[in-house]
């Protein structure tokens, strides 16, 4: 797993997929509400610029950063800070950065002036949890200037027909996962198999990255401990190798 770079923390819910998000669960343990959490800058704000004792980059060229996994990179409260993060990303063009968002409809107003048709070292994932959100977010996603696009069907809450959006020239891969936590909604394995079939038929790389806590398979509901959710998904043998665009 690449290093997590969380320059800010906190979020608020905007759709069905947010209901049991781990960000709210973690914040609730410290006394905040489960509906929202305060969006604040963190001590990791300048993380990619850290130096080691020899005054070299702590994170060397070629490092890959998972950006804003305890918030949303495009959340409104972070608008005053995002420009500085773009400056850091631009300065560390020798590294790779990727983020997932449920706010893809805000991307066009959040891009830096020199974005053009996208930075070569930045990948963006659009999260969709059901057909309604796929039909709203993905047309926007496909029309935006992005070099490397990933569809993140997680937490998957129902069957989704992605075929209208699976353009191999635009979509790098599809990643699918269930919901985790005590109150997680079950993931039906048939939904995963259907998305796998859609990707195979269109030549799009596919990853089943997480089972979630409750997996419905062959009429039986399985409860899978958090520490096994990624490995059990991998053992399903559904992953299709990446043979489209290279990783950013």
Phi first, then psi: give them for residue 231, nearest 5 degrees.
Answer: -70, -35
The whole-angstrom separation of Cα 175 and Cα 204 is: 10
Q: How would residue 242 be classed by pLDDT, with cut points 50, 70 and 90?
A: low
CATH code of the domain made up of 4-235: 3.80.30
Closest CA to 89 of 53, 47, 43: 47
3-state secondary structure of 165: helix
**pLDDT (tens digit, 9 = 90+) per residue, 176-219?**
999 999 999 999 999 999 999 999 999 999 999 999 999 999 99
Q: What is the pTM of this model?
A: 0.92
What does the block give as tokens for 184?
A: 């997680």
Q: Does 243 have pLDDT greater than 80?
A: no
Look-up of token digits 């797993």: 1
Tokens in use for 123? 């990948």
Q: How far apart are CA 128 and CA 16, in angstroms?
A: 10
The domain ranges of the chain are 4-235
């Amino acid at each position: 797993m690449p290093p997590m770079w969380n320059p800010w923390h906190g979020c608020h819910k905007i759709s069905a997929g947010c209901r049991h998000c781990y960000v709210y669960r973690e914040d609730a343990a410290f006394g905040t509400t489960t509906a929202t959490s305060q969006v604040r800058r963190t001590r990791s704000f300048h993380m990619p610029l850290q130096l080691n004792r020899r005054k070299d980059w702590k994170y060397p060229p070629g490092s890959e950063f998972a950006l804003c996994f305890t918030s949303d990179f495009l959340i409104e409260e972070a608008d005053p800070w995002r420009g500085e993060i773009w400056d850091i990303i631009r300065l560390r063009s020798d590294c790779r950065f990727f983020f997932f968002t449920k706010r893809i409809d805000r991307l066009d107003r959040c891009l830096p002036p020199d974005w053009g048709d996208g930075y070569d070292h930045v990948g963006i994932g659009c999260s969709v949890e059901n057909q309604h959100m796929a039909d709203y977010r993905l047309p926007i996603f496909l029309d935006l200037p992005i070099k490397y696009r990933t569809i993140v069907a997680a937490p998957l809450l129902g069957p989704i027909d992605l075929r209208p959006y699976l353009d191999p020239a635009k979509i790098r891969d599809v990643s699918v996962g269930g919901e985790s936590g005590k109150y997680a909604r079950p993931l039906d394995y048939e939904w995963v198999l259907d998305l796998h079939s859609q990707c195979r038929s269109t030549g799009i790389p596919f990853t089943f990255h997480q089972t979630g806590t409750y997996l419905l398979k062959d009429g039986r509901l399985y409860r899978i401990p958090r520490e096994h959710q990624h490995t059990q998904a991998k053992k399903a043998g559904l992953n299709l190798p990446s043979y489209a665009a290279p990783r950013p």
